[in-house]
């Protein structure tokens, strides 16, 4: 293979990889590849998702007070994690 053919092949593979990674991200996947060409076989593809924090409150207070506290704590946790 001459240098022009090699370059064309690399550019096509790069374009195909870019399309595949963008499609994977759109599907909710995370893609991380190594810095060295020799390590490309160890590319990492994993599922991602928003963090969800669930809060429960136990206290020696009336149930409606505990419920209000739990709702306030959950609202704060959701705000921090961006799930609100």
- The count of structural domains within the chain is 2
56 and 40 in one domain? no
For 78-83, what is the mean pLDDT?
A: 64
Regarding whether 41 and 12 lie in a shared domain, the answer is yes
Same domain, yes or no: 15 and 37: yes
| Confidence at residue 80, expressed as pLDDT on a 0 to 100 scale | 66
* Same domain flag for 55 and 78: yes
Q: Are residues 40 and 58 in the same domain?
A: no
pLDDT of residue 81: 59
Q: What is the pLDDT of residues 4-44, one digit of tens each?
A: 999 999 999 999 998 998 898 888 888 887 778 888 888 88
How would you classify the pairing of strands 44-47 and 29-32? Answer: antiparallel
**Residue 84, domain extent:** 50-84
Looking at 1-84, which runs of residues are DSSP E strands? 29-32, 44-47
């Amino acid at each position: 293979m001459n240098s022009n053919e090699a370059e064309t092949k690399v550019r096509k593979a790069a374009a195909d990889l870019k399309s595949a990674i963008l499609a994977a991200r759109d599907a909710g996947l995370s893609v991380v590849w190594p810095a060295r060409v020799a390590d490309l076989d160890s590319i990492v593809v994993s599922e991602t998702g928003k963090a969800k924090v669930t809060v429960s409150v136990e206290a020696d207070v009336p149930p409606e007070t505990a419920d209000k506290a739990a709702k306030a704590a959950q609202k704060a946790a959701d705000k921090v994690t961006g799930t609100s």
